[in-house]
Amino acid sequence: MSDEKWQDAGDVVELSTRPLQQIMVGRNKVAISFVDGKFGAVHGACNHVGGPLGQGTLDGDYIVCPWHNWKFHRVTGVGEPGFEEDRVPRFECKVENGRLLVSQAAVTSRQRKPHAKHPLDRDTIREPGPIRVVGISTTVMDTDHPRYSTSEALLESALDHGRSKHGLQTRLVKLREKSFRACEGYYSKSAQACTWPCSISQMDAKDGMNDVYENLVFWGDVVLIATPIRWAAASSLYFKMAERLNAVQNQITLKNRVMLKNKVAGLIVTGGQDNVQAVVGQMMLFFGELGMQFPQFPFIAHSRGWTAEDMERNVEMVQNSEELHDGARALLDRCLDLSGRLQAGHATEFRRAGRKASGIEKRRHGESS
């Protein structure tokens, strides 16, 4: 049935059982739709970052991309109203002898509407200048009626020290003051769907994580992360942030792009519950996987532990403990020492073998990595 112009896409009865599907026609991935007795055929790769349009859904005559919801007309390939300059290639199609025939070549070309570049979509080049210190507090509290946070107080002592003793620029990011959406699992659709800048940042101009990305990925050399312990784990806001940082780690998986280079992390963990070492262990694993480095003795912690619930005394103890505040200052000093040496050194080569998604499994099955 195939000739020079037409390719056989399959049995009409079978193809008409589903309103939208992605199939290979010759060498093309094609999104075949069937609505009100009429077939449509457009290229199956979305203009955004290549999402499989034929695996999406239909909104009237528009295909909704399954990755980030861009829409294209199922017959013409033209973007939804307001985005007509975005167009995916259209194929002709016809029914003959019970078979659906699709043109070998697209009859329109792909066209991309120029989209404004997201401010985070830039190279991670360190601006010249002295070491810069970022503190990230993951403590949750009622911002209208603030309370004393032991982890944040120690973080502030360290940042004060950076300014007063070392004359450095510091910034404090309080996650509770940032409004941001939880990770919505784009990675779970496909590694390629988890983008940089984060898919949510691209969709939501007011995304509060932008400030975290700016400071962690671009501005800071030393990052101190402070968390309380909640039921033997870091705070819920810590994990909400960590999940959104998957977009940073995924650049290594997708492109061998290590965005965090020569950056040092120090950790501050306090609370009324036990499990300091496990909390720190998780945090070190995570920030290590992002590419951050740690000084000797990379954390300080304090916990009332298992034997007491007198948290009002805990606050008093931390407030009045010169030792703990000195410990926070010394943690920063260790981070600065390592940071200075990293800035003066050379970047080491990064090899993927043995690392996450290095491609060994794919090669074993005869595919390219």
- By CB under 6 A, is residue 186 in contact with ligand FES? no
Residue 90's nearest CA partner among 15, 12, 30 is 30
- By CB under 6 A, is residue 77 in contact with ligand FES? no
- Of positions 34, 41, 68, 93, contacts ligand FES by CB under 6 A: 68
Kindly indicate which of the ranges 45-53, 245-253, 270-278, 340-348 contains the residues binding ligand FES, using the contact rule CB under 6 A: 45-53
Tell me the three state secondary structure of residue 315. Answer: helix
- By CB under 6 A, is residue 43 in contact with ligand FES? no
Amino acid letter for position 338: L
DSSP letter string, 101-166: EEESS-SS--B-PPPPPPTT-S--PPPSSS-EEEEEE-----TTS----HHHHHHHHHHHHHHHTT
Number of residues near ligand FES (by CB under 6 A): 10
- By CB under 6 A, is residue 187 in contact with ligand FES? no
- By CB under 6 A, is residue 48 in contact with ligand FES? yes
Kindly indicate which of the ranges 60-68, 137-145, 152-160, 241-249 contains the residues binding ligand FES, using the contact rule CB under 6 A: 60-68
DSSP letter string, 33-88: EEETTEEEEEESB-TTT--BGGGSEEETTEEEPTTT--EEETTT-BBSTT-TT-B-
- By CB under 6 A, is residue 280 in contact with ligand FES? no
- Of positions 20, 65, 78, 268, contacts ligand FES by CB under 6 A: 65
Q: Which tokens belong to 169? A: 């620029």
Kindly indicate which of the ranges 47-55, 85-93, 148-156, 270-278 contains the residues binding ligand FES, using the contact rule CB under 6 A: 47-55
| CA torsion angle 36 41 46 50 (round to 10) | 130
CB-wise, 70 or 239, nearer to ligand FES? 70
CB-wise, 48 or 325, nearer to ligand FES? 48
- Of positions 6, 34, 39, 67, contacts ligand FES by CB under 6 A: 67
Q: Which residues bind ligand FES (CB under 6 A)?
A: 46, 48-51, 65, 67-70
